[in-house]
Amino acid sequence: MTSFYVGNLNFYNAPYYSPLREIDRLFYDYDTDYYDDDIYQFELDELRDLYVELSHPYYSLPEIDDNAFLLLHRDSNNNGIFDYLNDVVLGVDTNDPFYDDFIVYQNASPGTYFAYVSSFDDETDYISYQIELSVSSPTILNTNKPIIDVNSDLNMPLYRFQSNVTPGTYLFVSEKERLSIHENFNLANDFTEEGIAFYATDTPGDKLIPLYRFQSNVISGTYLFVSEEERQNINQNFANSFTEEGLAFYVYGGGMGEQASFTRFQNSQVPGTYLYATGSEAHNIRTNYPKFIEEGISFEVRI
């Protein structure tokens, strides 16, 4: 493993372009093989949108152009050391051959980050690449504006925050609570805003169901969103583990086929904590994160 220290990434020294790199893959035996991976460590000193691109030199042969994968990690324990198993994964790109790898992470909070480059499959002897790291103004300060759909009942934006205290757990909040978090919490220490997750409503309507928010009493700062039926079950049988915080918002029920379906996953390594995801994020969780147990479609909303 080869490490590169980029330093502080800001408007003055970005974009950063690495020298042309070549990764050799070494085969140890039939059961175990070793990688010559590359790690790029860099810091952000303020909230930024972060861009990481892995490109390939024009003279590379097509068959080795994209036999690499790119990961973006945050130094979640703030020890300045890359920890593949424990540092929070913020982005993954394992694009098909002939396409560059590209990760966009919005509203990256101040801290230390690692870009990780490694071989994509078991058949590639080596890869050549160049990595680009760049930043821009944070989305929440400019372009992350709610989009009103006059033909939809769901026009209330819900913003997703990831906990920095318990990484991999999330909170969905309205605009009012979003502003409260920014004003009353140290965002870098407690939560990282990831932008608008979906659109729901605070008004009951035809085919809509209420979701209620519970906070865990076991792992403070982690949340669960449930329907009326599950709400009653929790209050009757798991009141010691969760505290109800009230009505969160209205959505379409799972399986109605009205809007985008959000699946609920439970973190098997941190029992009682949950993640809701749709589309490519849900697919990525199923494919690459076996610690998350799929529990089915939870609700449908506009995205």
Q: Is residue 152 domain-shared with residue 293, that is, in the same domain?
A: yes
The larger pLDDT score, comparing residue 68 to residue 165, is at: 165
pLDDT in tens, 28-44: 333 444 456 789 999 98
Give me the mean pLDDT over the 98-110 stretch. 70
Q: Is the pLDDT at 280 greater than 50, yes or no?
A: yes
Q: Is residue 195 domain-shared with residue 274, that is, in the same domain?
A: yes
The larger pLDDT score, comparing residue 118 to residue 250, is at: 250
Q: Is the pLDDT at 65 greater than 50, yes or no?
A: no
CB-CB contact of 87 with 76 (8 Å): yes
Give me the mean pLDDT over the 207-217 stretch. 95
Q: Is residue 121 domain-shared with residue 156, that is, in the same domain?
A: no
Q: Is residue 152 domain-shared with residue 253, that is, in the same domain?
A: yes
CATH code, domain with 19: 2.60.120.380
Tally of structural domains, the chain: 2
Structural tokens at position 223? 């949340």
pLDDT computed for residue 276 by the predictor: 94
pLDDT computed for residue 117 by the predictor: 83
Contacts of 109 (CB under 8 A, 6+ apart): 44, 47, 164, 187, 188, 192
Q: Is residue 297 domain-shared with residue 151, that is, in the same domain?
A: yes
Question: Of the candidates 89, 114, 139, which is a domain's last residue?
Answer: 139
pLDDT computed for residue 189 by the predictor: 67
Amino acid 299 reads F
Question: Of the candidates 104, 120, 139, which is a domain's last residue?
Answer: 139
Q: Is residue 58 domain-shared with residue 151, that is, in the same domain?
A: no
Q: Is residue 153 domain-shared with residue 74, that is, in the same domain?
A: no
Q: Identify the domain containing residue 62 by its residue range.
A: 2-139
Write the CA distances from 25 to 32, 235, 286, integer angstroms: 12, 54, 27
Q: Is residue 123 domain-shared with residue 152, that is, in the same domain?
A: no
The larger pLDDT score, comparing residue 137 to residue 210, is at: 210
> Rounded to two decimals, what is the model's pTM?
0.55
Give me the mean pLDDT over the 183-204 stretch. 80
pLDDT computed for residue 28 by the predictor: 35
Q: Is residue 155 domain-shared with residue 296, that is, in the same domain?
A: yes
Q: Is residue 116 domain-shared with residue 8, that is, in the same domain?
A: yes
Q: Is residue 169 domain-shared with residue 108, that is, in the same domain?
A: no
